[in-house]
C-alpha cells in the first residue's frame, strides 16, 4: 500500500499542486490527518509576512517521537529503524529496530529528566555520527527539550557562540569521533568551550573512541553509567510530553551574510509534516526500502532526511559514521551493496570528489539495489549529474536534484523520482504547497523564461522556520524585508520554457564550500581578529571539487615575510575560530582593499578578480583609490 499522500503520476502531481494553491488549508489539513495528534488543531494556518508571524495547526497537541516511533510499534516492531555502519569497515554494523529505538529513547529521555532537563530547555548535542546522536535528539524531543545539534567539525569558539546564544543548560557529547583516518577529540573541545558557558550545568558523555578524557565531577557524567541508574528490570517508558504544534522542536545554527550564525527555529507539527511529506514524495519511498543519506546530522539535511522524515514515515534509515573516501573511494558502493540500499542521497561535492578517483572503484560493485539517487546542498553541474546517473545509477535510477535550505525545513523544489520530469542541473518543479516565484531587483514578478531572478516564496508552508532564536527582528530583516510579502531565499534562479527551475546559486555573501554553508563575514571576523591583520575581505571562487573555495584578501601589518608561514597562521586562526571547513585555499596579502568613497568594501570587484574575470570588473572610477585594484590584479593568486 502506498502512503496515503504519495503522489503517483505526473497528472496526480498537477492535480495536487493545483489543489494546494487553490485550497492550501484543505490540502494541508488532509495531509496532517495522517499523523498522530493527541488533540486536533483549532486553526490550520494564520500568518502574515509583515510581522512576520506564521502558525500552523494551532491548538493541536502532539509529540514528534510518537509519530517517529510509537505509532510504528504495532506493524514495524522488528523492522530496522536505523542501520549503522561504522567508520572502520572491520567493525560490526549495528541494527536498531523500532522496538529497540523506542526503548533506548525512553531510557535516555529518563536520564535527561533525572538530570533536571525540562520542557523548553535547550540541549546542545555535539557528537559523531553514531546512533546515540539520533537517540539523544529523539530523547530531547520526547520530553520537550529543544535540541541544538552542532556539527562535530566546528571549533570550540563556534560551540561557545551557539551554546551562549541558545542559553543551553545541558550538553550531550562523546569522548571522540572517528572520521576516516582521524579521531576528533570532541570532549576536549567541549571542555574548552564550557569554560565560557556558565549556563551549562550538565554534560553527558557517550563513550565511543575510548580516548583519554577528563570528567569534571558534578558536571560530567558517562552515558552508560547514567543509564544503569534509571534502568529497572524491564524497559522504561518515558511518556511523550504533549507539545503544542507551535512549540519549538529544535534550533539549528546557520550562516547568513552578516554577523554571527543565526539560530533557525523549527516547530513541532509543521516541520514534522513537511519533512515526512517531502521525504515520501521526492524519493518516492516504498515500504521496507533502505534510505541512505550521507549528510552529517549537524546540518539540516541530516535532521530532515536521516532522522525525522524517514522515521516519521516508518522507513529504515542508514547512518554512516565515516567519509566516502576512506579507507578507499569505493566505500559508499560497498555500503550500498552490503545493505542493499535503495535510495542514495548525497552532495555534488562528494560526487565530484569520487569522480576524480576514476571508475576503477566500481569494479566488483553491483549497486543493483539502487532505485533512486538524490543530490543536495549546491548546484550540481551537468558532468557530475551524468556521471552519477551512469556509474552509480547504471542509467536506471531517476536523480532528484533537491533545492532547499536550513530555513525551509524540507525540500521545496525538486523532481519527484520517476514521477515528474528530470533535467540535468535543474531542480525542476516546486512541491505541492510551494508557491515559488522569481522577482527582479525591485520586486516585480518575472513571468518570462530564461531570465535571472531572485528566488522567493509567496505563501507559507508548514516546514518553514518561525523565527531566529532570540532575535525576531533579524528573522524579519533577513527573509521578509527585501521584497514585500515574499520570503526571500537568498538564491538566484531561472526557469526554462517548461517552467523548470534552475538554481544558479547565492546572491548574497553566503558561500557553499563542499556543500557547507559559510558566511564570508564570519571568515573575515576570524581573520581580522588575528594580531597584525588590519582588515580583510573574503570571497568565493569556483572550485572543481568543492564547488566553491575561499579566497581571502588580507591587509597585513606584521613583520613576518614568509608567505607560507603567514598563510598557515591565518588558516590556523580560521580553524580555531570556525573550524577546518572554513579554511581559505588562496590568501593574498594586499596593501589596500577596493572601497567606495563611503568606505564600503567592493566585494563584487574582488569576486571578479578571484574568479579570473578581469575584463568584467565594471566601473572602478568611483573607488576611493582605483590604484589598489591594479596592485591586487598584479599579485593575484592563480
Give yes or no for residue 410 binding ligand WTA (CB under 6 A): no
SS3 for 345-389, per residue? Answer: EECHHHHHHHHCCCHHHHCCCCCCCCCEEEEECCCCCHHHHHHHH
CB 513 to ligand WTA: min, Å:
11
When binding is defined by CB under 6 A, the residue of 55, 208, 517, 577 that contacts ligand WTA is: 517
CB 327 to ligand WTA: min, Å:
28
Q: Which stretch binds ligand WTA (CB under 6 A): 162-170, 283-291, 498-506, 615-623?
A: 498-506
Give yes or no for residue 350 binding ligand WTA (CB under 6 A): no
Q: Where are the beta strands (DSSP E) in 65-186?
A: 80-85, 94-97, 122-126, 146-149, 170-174, 177-179, 182-184
Give yes or no for residue 352 binding ligand WTA (CB under 6 A): no
Among candidates 174, 168, 172, 114, which has minimal Cα distance to 146?
168
CB 424 to ligand WTA: min, Å:
12
> What are the Cα distances from residue 366, in Å, to 293, 356, 369, 605?
19, 20, 8, 49
When binding is defined by CB under 6 A, the residue of 24, 128, 322, 377 that contacts ligand WTA is: 377
Give yes or no for residue 376 binding ligand WTA (CB under 6 A): yes
User: Between 222 and 261, how does the x/- string for binding to ligand WTA read (CB under 6 A)?
Assistant: --------------------------------x-------
CB 451 to ligand WTA: min, Å:
18
DSSP 184: E
Give yes or no for residue 594 binding ligand WTA (CB under 6 A): no
Give yes or no for residue 405 binding ligand WTA (CB under 6 A): yes
CB 401 to ligand WTA: min, Å:
5
Give yes or no for residue 401 binding ligand WTA (CB under 6 A): yes
C-alpha torsion 321→324→329→330, nearest 10: 70
Q: Which is nearer to ligand WTA, 491 or 522 (CB)?
A: 491
Among candidates 489, 3, 84, which has minimal Cα distance to 282?
3
C-alpha torsion 595→598→603→608, nearest 10: -60
- Cβ pair 312, 98 in contact under 8 A: no
Size of the site for ligand WTA (CB under 6 A): 23
When binding is defined by CB under 6 A, the residue of 427, 486, 507, 511 that contacts ligand WTA is: 427
When binding is defined by CB under 6 A, the residue of 16, 155, 281, 402 that contacts ligand WTA is: 402
CB 262 to ligand WTA: min, Å:
11
Burial of 341 (0-12, 13-18, 19+ CB in 10 A): buried
Phi-psi region of 218 (alpha: psi -120 to 50; beta: other; left: phi over 0): left
Phi-psi region of 11 (alpha: psi -120 to 50; beta: other; left: phi over 0): alpha
Q: Which is nearer to ligand WTA, 209 or 349 (CB)?
A: 349
Extract the C-alpha cell encoding 630.
591594479
Distance from C-alpha of 262 to C-alpha of 239, rounded to nearest angstrom: 32
Extract the C-alpha cell encoding 572.
590556523
When binding is defined by CB under 6 A, the residue of 303, 495, 512, 608 that contacts ligand WTA is: 512
Burial of 476 (0-12, 13-18, 19+ CB in 10 A): middle
Extract the C-alpha cell encoding 23.
485550497
Q: Which is nearer to ligand WTA, 72 or 495 (CB)?
A: 495
User: Between 282 and 321, how does the x/- string for binding to ligand WTA read (CB under 6 A)?
Assistant: -----------------xxx--------------------
Binding site for ligand WTA (CB under 6 A): 254, 299-301, 376-379, 401-406, 427, 489-491, 503, 505-506, 512, 517
Amino acid at each position: 500500500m502506498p502512503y496515503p499522500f504519495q503522489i503517483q503520476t505526473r497528472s496526480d502531481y498537477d492535480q495536487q499542486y493545483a489543489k494546494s494553491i487553490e485550497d492550501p488549508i484543505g490540502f494541508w489539513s488532509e495531509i496532517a490527518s495522517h499523523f498522530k495528534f493527541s488533540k486536533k488543531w483549532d486553526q490550520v494556518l494564520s500568518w502574515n509576512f509583515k510581522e512576520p508571524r506564521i502558525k500552523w495547526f494551532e491548538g493541536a497537541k502532539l509529540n514528534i517521537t510518537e509519530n517517529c516511533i510509537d505509532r510504528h510499534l504495532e506493524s514495524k516492531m522488528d523492522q530496522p529503524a536505523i542501520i549503522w555502519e561504522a567508520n572502520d569497515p572491520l567493525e560490526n554494523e549495528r541494527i536498531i529496530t523500532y522496538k529497540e529505538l523506542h526503548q533506548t529513547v525512553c531510557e535516555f529521555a529518563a536520564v535527561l529528566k533525572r538530570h533536571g532537563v525540562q520542557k523548553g530547555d535547550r540541549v546542545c548535542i555535539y557528537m559523531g555520527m553514531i546512533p546515540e546522536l539520533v537517540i539523544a535528539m529523539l530523547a530531547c524531543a520526547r520530553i520537550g527539550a529543544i535540541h541544538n545539534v552542532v556539527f562535530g567539525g566546528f571549533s570550540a569558539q563556534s560551540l561557545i557562540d551557539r551554546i551562549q546564544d541558545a542559553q543551553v543548560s545541558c550538553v550531550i557529547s562523546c569522548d571522540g569521533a572517528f572520521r576516516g583516518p582521524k579521531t576528533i577529540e570532541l570532549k576536549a573541545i567541549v571542555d574548552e568551550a564550557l569554560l565560557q558557558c556558565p549556563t551549562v550545568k550538565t554534560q553527558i558523555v557517550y563513550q565511543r573512541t575510548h580516548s583519554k578524557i577528563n570528567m569534571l565531577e558534578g558536571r560530567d557524567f558517562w552515558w552508560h553509567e547514567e543509564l544503569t541508574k534509571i534502568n529497572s528490570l524491564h524497559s522504561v517508558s518515558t511518556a511523550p510530553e504533549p507539545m503544542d504544534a507551535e512549540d519549538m522542536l529544535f534550533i539549528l545554527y546557520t550562516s547568513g551574510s552578516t554577523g554571527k550564525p543565526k539560530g533557525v527555529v523549527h516547530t513541532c507539527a509543521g516541520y514534522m509534516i513537511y519533512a515526512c511529506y517531502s521525504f515520501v514524495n521526492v524519493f518516492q519511498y516504498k515500504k521496507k526500502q533502505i534510505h541512505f543519506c550521507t549528510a552529517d546530522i549537524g546540518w539540516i539535511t541530516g535532521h530532515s532526511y536521516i532522522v525525522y522524515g524517514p522515521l516519521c514515515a516508518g522507513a529504515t534509515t542508514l547512518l554512516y559514521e565515516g567519509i566516502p573516501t576512506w579507507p578507499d573511494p569505493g566505500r559508499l558502493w560497498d555500503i550500498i551493496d552490503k545493505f542493499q540500499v535503495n535510495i542514495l542521497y548525497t552532495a555534488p561535492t562528494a560526487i565530484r570528489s569520487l569522480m576524480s578517483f576514476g571508475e576503477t572503484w566500481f569494479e566488483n560493485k553491483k549497486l543493483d539495489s539502487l532505485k533512486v539517487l538524490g543530490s543536495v546542498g549546491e548546484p550540481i553541474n551537468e558532468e557530475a549529474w551524468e556521471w552519477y546517473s551512469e556509474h552509480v545509477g547504471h542509467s536506471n535510477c531517476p536523480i532528484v536534484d533537491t533545492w532547499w535550505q536550513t530555513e525551509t525545513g524540507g525540500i521545496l523544489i525538486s523532481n519527484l523520482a520517476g514521477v515528474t520530469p528530470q533535467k540535468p542541473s535543474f531542480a525542476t518543479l516546486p512541491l505541492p504547497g510551494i508557491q515559488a516565484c522569481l522577482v527582479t531587483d525591485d520586486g516585480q514578478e518575472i513571468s518570462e523564461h530564461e531570465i535571472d531572478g531572485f528566488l522567493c516564496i509567496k505563501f507559507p508552508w508548514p516546514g518553514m522556520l518561525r523565527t531566529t532564536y532570540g532575535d525576531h527582528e533579524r528573522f524579519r530583516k533577513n527573509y521578509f524585508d527585501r521584497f514585500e510579502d515574499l520570503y526571500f531565499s537568498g538564491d538566484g534562479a531561472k526557469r526554462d520554457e517548461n517552467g523548470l527551475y534552475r538554481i544558479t546559486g547565492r546572491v548574497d555573501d553566503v558561500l557553499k564550500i563542499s556543500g557547507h554553508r559559510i558566511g564570508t563575514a564570519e571568515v573575515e571576523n576570524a581573520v581580522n581578529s588575528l594580531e597584525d591583520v588590519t582588515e580583510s575581505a573574503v570571497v568565493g571562487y569556483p572550485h572543481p571539487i568543492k564547488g566553491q573555495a575561499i579566497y581571502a584578501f588580507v591587509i597585513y601589518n606584521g613583520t613576518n615575510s614568509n608567505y607560507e608561514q603567514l598563510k598557515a597562521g591565518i588558516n590556523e586562526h580560521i580553524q580555531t575560530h570556525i573550524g577546518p571547513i572554513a579554511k581559505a585555499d588562496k590568501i593574498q596579502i594586499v596593501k589596500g582593499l577596493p572601497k567606495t568613497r563611503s568606505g564600503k568594501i567592493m566585494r563584487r570587484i574582488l569576486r571578479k578578480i578571484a574568479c579570473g574575470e578581469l575584463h568584467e570588473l565594471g566601473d572602478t572610477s568611483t573607488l576611493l583609490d582605483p590604484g589598489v585594484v591594479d596592485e591586487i590584479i598584479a599579485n593575484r593568486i592563480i
